[in-house]
A and B are shown apart, each in its own frame.
Chain A
């Protein structure tokens, strides 16, 4: 036999290195991406979106306030306007997310005539108190999220959502 014949050991070595290399790459790539991604992304987080709502007009009764940003849905791209339920709690402005914590429908303040002082989800009858606290025995398992808010030149600006801090 010729002496450049690949021995069994060599063969295994080659193949295993090859496979191992792929596996390592498979594992490393996402890790590298995770590590680098935050650097590449713009700091979108702390952005506040202006609304046309005068802070002095906000009352104790939750009211819809819209604010716009761009969103791409499955096959329909649009400049989606998002909504918050905004009210004053003493001097503090509260802005709650209208997204139901069950499966994501949009909740309405006083949406059910039987519960005029609660948020109501039309999809499966989920309900929340004014603070966003979910009412037990309705489908949602957690309270409504809260938006960060700030005031600029007398107008309300809305930021990121965060877990409810009132409940």
Chain B
């Protein structure tokens, strides 16, 4: 090992000793520090996870969705519309979708019943989302009875459980056959919930949407990119709101940390004097204190970030449910996969560790450049 490295090793050893000697103070600081990182990281990880869910959701969404409006409200679309749009120039394919909500009093939640466009389950069976399966303890072959629009029991046997790759999408989903869907909701043949269009040239999406509107004035075309923007705005807004709420707490922490870090105790000042008197360079003392600040802040950062990850992954950020209530009502229990974004980690690290390390250095520097003769008078 080079002398420089040896030197740093000794300084770190000394620092660890020093931290252990001021246990109470450093522990308190560590807890508050980690708590702040925890809260900030929770928000960031949570919104990141929601964004990912939304992106997954929308990746599967069609380029253009066409709804029909009657008296300003969404209504069923006749098959004639579908034929008309399929023949429109620029449209690669048009399909009619069947989906709807089913309120289940037992779980107090809305399920989304849907006929998949490809590979629908055979009549009398269904594929269910993981949340639903877990709630009813459903396995393949089990039978669940739902109530039809006119109050009859409608038994469906489980053909399969949907994968969990996007919890928000699949959590409350029930996929059934077209015939079952129509019987269940009482929707006659020739009517669809909405239509989805694939466009040949992605750059013509807006133009095709205009044509749809012109040819079928009672419809409303919805473009995927617009939904995407709306979602992004919604998440940014939520995140921003939480951040504003938190900024007060962060500020309070900064003041506390600054105060703790910048106020050298008489003991510490004395120690610095002694070290300087016996031949430690100012740079040694600064390096030693920098190590101290780094050890505390890096450890607190890791602790807080890890806790936030667990908070979001295992508890779905349950502490933030009040703020994000919209989601939790719609999706009673979904598991989020937190996304660790290196840039975000770095930003958070920089914003929390750097100011602290700096705050510890300033007073030390002031104390370390003073003449050490004061040690003679203690």
Chain B binds chain A: no
The interface of chain A, by Cβ under 8 A from chain B, is none
